Structure 1
Amino acid sequence: MTVSAERSGSYKTNSVQVGTFRDVAPLDVPQTSNVVTREVLDAQAATTLFGALRNTAGVTRSQLSGSTYDNVAIRGILVENRGNYRLNGSLPIINLIDIPLENKERVEVLKGASSLYYGFVPPSGIVNLVTKRATKEPVTSFALSANQYGAATAHADIGRRFGEQEQFGARINLVTGREDIGIDRYSGDRQLASAALDWKATRDLSFKLDLEHYRKDVSEQAAIALLPASGGRIALPQVPDAKRNLAGEWQKYDAEATNVLLRTDYRLSDTWSVLFEAGHAKTERDRNFSQFQNYSLVTGAGTLRTFFNRGQEWENTNYRTELFGMIPGSWMTHELTLGFTRNDRDANSRSNGSFDVAQNLYSPVDIAPRSPSVAPVLAPSSIKDRGWYVQDRVSLGERWQLTAGVRSSQYESTTATTRYETDDVNPALALMFKPMSNVSVYASYIEGVEESGQAPANRANAGELLAPAVAKQKEVGVKAEVAQGVLVQAAYFDIKRPSTAIDSANRFVLNGLAQYKGFELAASGELTKQLSLIGSALFLDAEQLNQANAATYGRTPENTPRRTASLFAEYRLPQVPGLALSGGLFYVGERPVDNANQASIGGYTTVSLGARYITRIAGKRTTLQAVLDNATDKSYWSTAGNGFLGVGGPRTLKVAAKVDF
């Protein structure tokens, strides 16, 4: 038995809740994993997914600028919005609306292939959001936050335990607010209502229920489309003013999501347990997406094309049952997991036509409101992903661990025009050596399966699903806990996966393999009693390997930086009890705009500064905070991919106050 303690408000966590590594210490995870704790989120006043994930190496925006939701890539590989985002390690939630963080305890990222536990998902990584739950101590807090552009949010967080033995727990979070991110012709609002309930029915039987409903109705910033190539090169405009919006305020992105997850745990004996999980996620949206295209770099004159989408729906239904336990031995101990998952994903992507209107990149004009003029074109699709998996983590004495697992998957994908069905068996193998209790060295090999992608709406084969394919990953790494409790990680990885490209007919197609290999570094925790930090760096070498396509062979996949880095630190002044000062640097290197590398957007570094002061007012613990993001007001291209460019946000001052009752 291992007993560990963690100071309240740590930058480091003692366990992860993702994949087959649930409740495992980070040192014992033979794969790169990063955790952004609640304390980091609070110190940065982070309320968006990218705001949290920028603290982990290799994370970049993809395709969209983030005015509505965060579309991200890890190590240059897109994080699939319907399979790679998980709630409490299980339910695949749909990242097509900003996922709120106010009711989350932490955000975890398991880098690389994860098919053993999660089925058909790309090897970018799993982003897991862990909800707050009732603790032994009651929680009652109320917070207000605002920025200089007029955004304002109110948040209530209430947690209690009930019953003679405190066997019932409830954590309620309520959020409402007005949205403004500092760009022209932008307005909106968002809300969240969530409940995390638990009940320890008996010594052996327990239940957990998570319910969350959130909505967001905001103006969507127009994307800037790439110009056609000339002589093998694409000319890019100068980075526009960060506050400029080529779309109209009425061009809204109105979405809502409901997620429900039930988990039941039953202890069969002192060493064996079984769990059952069932969950449902549903997202609906109406969208007026616009892209600025066919423009003159000299005059700025071009065309704004707006697409109407009404009544779009996505639903995920997920079931998991799992038996796990331990077989002890004198020098060899087995920790066995046997499980089955079923995930059904249904979508109905409706299109209601489009319209074109003149616009100017340098002097935008307001766009008069328009409405859909054609009947909706339906594009239903469904995915059925089922799999059995088994894993054995073998402890050989106190220093060695061998982890071996295999998954058998049955996959079926159907659209109006295509259908794929496949069966795959994929292994996972890892060996770990712990020369000291606070150091682990590991090597792993994992095979994953993925869907290869679906043709985006701006391609000639929009909605078409590409054939499933296998990704292979090798990784070696070392992890150690040093100083006052800093987790340090270093890893080398090598991933080969299917590549995609846009052909001459504007079709989204498979393009052979691509290889992503490099070094990743990370550190998080308390360096001293006064100084906490979280930092990361990625050194990546990625190239496409399809010799049959001379235009892309040997080139870097689109939107893939060779370097990224981040460092955020907070110092608690001993001279002024309760006062903490913080600062962060977030760097993303140069990235090609397409797979043929016909142009690149420059790298950028943003600076964040912050201060928070904890005191007592009228006997209540009160936190006052100010955070300045993009403190230098840098103008930069924040994203590329799928033929689009996106602009980074302007300098933003956020102020907040929280009272704990």
Structure 2
Amino acid sequence: MKSAAEQGVGKKQRGKTKAPTIGVAHIAVMLAFAASQNAYAQTDAPVNASNAAAASAGAANDAAAEKSLPAVNVTAAQDSPQHLNADVGSGALGTRTQLDTPFSTTVVTSEELQDMQPQKLGDVFARDASVSDNGNPYSAWATYLSVRGMQLDWQNGFKIDGLPFNSYGITMPYEQLESVELLKGLSGFMYGFGAPGGVVNYVTKKPPLSGTPIRSVDVGYLTDGVWAEHADLGGRVGPNGMFGYRFNATHEEGQTYNDGTIRRNAFSLALDARITRDLSATFGALYQDQHTTGQGGSISTAQYVGTSLPAALSGSTDNLGNPSQHLNTNLQLYTAGVHYNLSPNWTAHLTYSFSKSFRDRNESTFFLENPAGDYTDFRFAGKEGHRLSLWQALVEGDVKTGPFEHQLVLGAAWQKQVNEYEANSVYEQIGTGNLYSPNTNLFYSPEGLATYRAGDITQKALFASDTIRLTERWSVLGGVRYTYYEQNGYTLTGTTSSHYSQSGVLTPTVALMFKLAPTTTLYTSYVESLEPGSIVDFTYANAGRMLKPLRSKQYEVGIKSEHARWSASTALFRIERGAEYANSANVYVQDGESIFEGVEAGADVRLGANWTVGGDLMWLHTKYERGSSFDGNRVAGAPGFVAAGHVTYNVPYVPGLRIGADAKFTGNTSVRPAGDLKAGGYTLFNVGASYATRIGGYGVTFRAAIDNITNKRYWEYQYADYISPGDPRTLSLNARIDF
């Protein structure tokens, strides 16, 4: 994580739940109860959608206004500590604030992303204890996360502006994002197919709402020799600012900390047109092309005979990579939408999106043999691609029936995903080696590698939700998605190798919410989800087989409380999911269920004018059961306990200077479903600083961060049966000018 310099609120706000200990969360809940009567006496009405929209609009203008403020005010502009009044997209639930969403959520803002300068998705959510990092930069694993012990679904668990794309191998241009949202848990009603870990939604930068232009340029440096340049331009033109635009461009190139190389070019464009008072149109495009070489391969324990892992390597090692390994990716996304205000209380949206992602990999899989670190080196070389198309029509609005107020969302969606896999890929043993010696097994990709249409998934859905306000404090939410799906697998010759289809699949959600105060929501919720069957990876005996879809259920009880100087939230959850794993014959199977039960808790507090402290924790109990071959074992990849804490200090003697530090402990994690091998627990420490000032009349911000300051060596759980060296100590620097 690039934990720099948290801007007052900056990174301190990020996690959904922030608490140094569980006791802090309990205290926060008691304070919320005690304050409820007094708060209602002083407040005319609870936070409503229009309040949230106004807050969101104000936040959108912060970046544009920043350059006109004195340096000390640039860093003092703050919203709530956990952004609970910020809007978060919830698919079929429409857009609502985090405080009014009856599920656990996290929002990371653009300002926080600038402070962090993340290189992978784990950096973005490093302060959220519910999120475990499973990836390394510059590799196909850079977006791998576990949320509540479950890895996100790279086919369906990632969205851009709420619209689907396939994330495998794709590292997003974080500098071009307005925010990153995480909806934890099941998402079946909200988005259709999806694994129960959650959904990450990347929100791209949009045209400014007012006529104030946005113009900034920044330059960054990252260990050991990576330089990046980024420009952000936006404004409004035409009569009364009728047309809006936002353009971002990034170039990144250099030598990475593991002696590899990276070259990345990314561009994004967002346009809008206010055609009439009630009719508007939007268009978006994002293009990124990235090339890396020398990245380390994956380490498999499928053939490992020891009961403890070998001594951990530094993430900066070049022992696992060499020039013949590479990852080339390309992402394209195009969106268009029309939005019409049917009445003061009703709005209709029609949206289309098309995304295309491609990757060309040459990557080793090191099958670890013994505690001495010996391995056999299998090399994969091939190409893969994915295409996703979506049409969605949605209307949302408010009605009143007798004493009850209804917030309704009605919609229909059609989505098709096409997976293109290797037609003539290479996967073979190219040699042997040892973790503690350089890998000299060179194998360059042959010419003529191609892909074929390996499978497709079509979803047709109708959905509806109704949030009924029963009284000033009580409300109930009900929603259901009706889905017809068809899932096909194909052979190289184009004939159908597998087929699943089903109509009338219902994925419901219900929730009950109670306002202890306008700033505090107590909720309980239930949701079901359906995820597509896995296409078995090439390392297993049944490679290429498409498994049947899996159904999951989630039960959750939580509380969120947001105040000017502190915020807190807690959630208790139980998730039941069909289990998938490799059996003793190395066949990837569906067998039994995996159960996840846990609690998240945390708080953030501003102490005086200069200090902010906070923390976050998750306790998690998991097991395989109900017929699984590993009944009673901990679920692989799920740590039992995670805790994070942070502190930020605004230096009063140097206006505009902020310093910060944070730490995160991740408990030991089972690597294999058999439960006979664990990756040990570890603690990471990060420090950073930022300084905002004015030079020559322009706003200038300098940022610096050192991650893993102790250069801790540790094994990181990567995927079932897989591990990787954790990231080494890294230095990042950035200078930005607003003009």
Q: What displacement does 1:12 show?
A: 3.9
- Is residue 2:494 matched to residue 1:399? no
Q: Structure 1 unaligned segments of length 5 or more: list them.
A: none
Show the counterpart of 1:193. 267
TM-score by length of 1: 0.94
User: What amino acid is the match of 1:46?
Assistant: P
In structure 2, what residue type is equivalent to 1:166? Answer: G
1:518 matched to 2:623? The reply is no
Task: Confirm whether residue 146 of structure 1 aligns to residue 221 of structure 2.
Answer: yes
Contact 1:205-1:266 within 8 A present in 2 as well: yes
1:331 partnered with 2:409: no
SS in 2 for 1:40: helix
Q: Which amino acid aligns with 2:190?
A: Y
Question: Hey, what does 2:25 align to over in structure 1?
Answer: none
Tell me whether 1:386 sits opposite 2:467 in the alignment: no
Q: Structure 1's 374 and 511: CA in aligned 2 closer, same or farther, altered over 3 A?
A: farther
Q: Deviations over 1:383-442 (max 9, x none)?
A: 111211111110112111110011111111111222111231121100101021111111
* Equivalent in 620, 623, 633 of residue 543 of structure 1: 623
Alignment partner, residue 85 of structure 1? 158
Q: CA RMSD in A?
A: 2.1
Equivalence for 1:159: 234
Aligned: 1:610 with 2:688: yes
Q: Which runs of 5+ in 2 are unaligned?
A: 1-47, 63-77, 491-496
User: Which one-letter code corresponds to 2:122 in the other structure?
Assistant: F
User: Equivalent residue for 1:46?
Assistant: 118
Alpha carbons of structure 1 residues 124 and 151: separation in structure 2 relative to 1, 3 Å: same
**Aligned to 2:194, which of 121, 127, 142?**
121
The letter for the 1-side match of 2:556 is E
Q: Which residue of 1 aligns with 2:90?
A: 18
Deviation at 1:163, TM superposition (A): 1.9
SS for the counterpart of 1:102 is helix
Cα distance in 1 for partners of 2:368, 2:652 equals 58
Q: How much does 1:307 deviate? A: 0.7
Q: Which residue of 1 aligns with 2:675?
A: 597
8 Å contact 1:63–1:642 — kept in the other structure?
Answer: no
Q: Distance in 1 between matches of 2:273 and 2:222?
A: 39
Supply the distance in 2 between the matched residues of 1:199 and 1:313 (Cα, whole angstroms). 33
CA contact (8 A) 1:276 1:322 kept: yes
Give 1:147-546 correspondences, 5 Å limit: 147-184=222-259, 186-219=260-293, 220-226=295-301, 228=303, 230=305, 234-245=307-318, 246-298=320-372, 300-310=373-383, 312-329=384-401, 331-350=403-422, 351-355=424-428, 356-372=430-446, 378=452, 380-416=454-490, 417-423=497-503, 424-484=505-565, 486-523=566-603, 529-532=609-612, 535-546=615-626
Shift in alpha-carbon separation, 1:307–1:516, aligned structure 2, 3 A: same
1:475–1:616: structure 2 CA closer, same or farther, 3 Å change rule?
same
Deviation string, structure 1 residues 625-648 (Cα, Å, up to 9, x no partner): 110011110011122323221011
The Cα shift of 1:357 comes to: 2.0
Query: Which residue identity does 1:660 align to in structure 2?
Result: D
Residues 108-117 or 348-357, more deviating: 348-357
Q: Deviations over 1:554-595 (max 9, x none)?
A: 111111101122233432222210101011112221100111
SS at match of 2:99: helix
Whether the 8 Å CA contact 1:65–1:648 is kept in 2: the answer is no
- C-alpha contact (below 8 Å) 1:483/1:528 kept by paired residues: no
Assess, with a 3 A threshold, how the Cα gap between structure 1 residues 149 and 328 changes in structure 2: closer, same or farther: same
Tell me the TM-score normalized by structure 2: 0.85
Distance 1:522 1:588, change over 3 A: same
Report if the CA contact (8 A) 1:155-1:174 is conserved.
yes
Say which SS state the counterpart of residue 41 (structure 1) adopts: helix
Q: Cα offset for 1:196?
A: 1.3
Is the alpha carbon distance of 1:303 and 1:91 closer, same or farther for their aligned partners in structure 2, counting shifts above 3 Å? closer
Q: Which among 695, 698, 720 is matched to residue 620 of structure 1?
A: 698
Any idea what SS the aligned residue of 2:174 has? coil
Match for residue 631 of structure 2 among 528, 553, 556 = 553
- Residue 70 (structure 1) aligned to one of 128, 140, 143: 143
**Closer/same/farther in 2, CA of residues 320 and 592 from structure 1, 3 Å limit:** same
The answer on whether the counterparts of 1:523 and 1:534 sit within 8 Å (CA) in structure 2 is yes
| Deviation by residue 1:36-59 (Cα, 9 ceiling, x = unmatched) | 112222222324322112222322
1:382 Cα shift?
0.5
Pairwise CA distance, 1:525: 7.7
Looking at structure 1, the residues matched to 137 and 277 of structure 2 have their Cα atoms a distance apart, in angstroms, of: 49
Residue deviations 1:589-639, cap 9 Å, x none? 110011111110011111111011111111111011110011110011122
Query: Partners in 2 of 1:198 and 1:535 — Cα distance?
Result: 39
Q: Is 1:569–1:583's contact at 8 Å kept on the other side of the alignment?
A: yes
- Larger relative contact order, structure 1 or 2 (CA cutoff 8 Å, min sep 6): 2
Structure-2 separation of matches of 1:107 and 1:524: 19
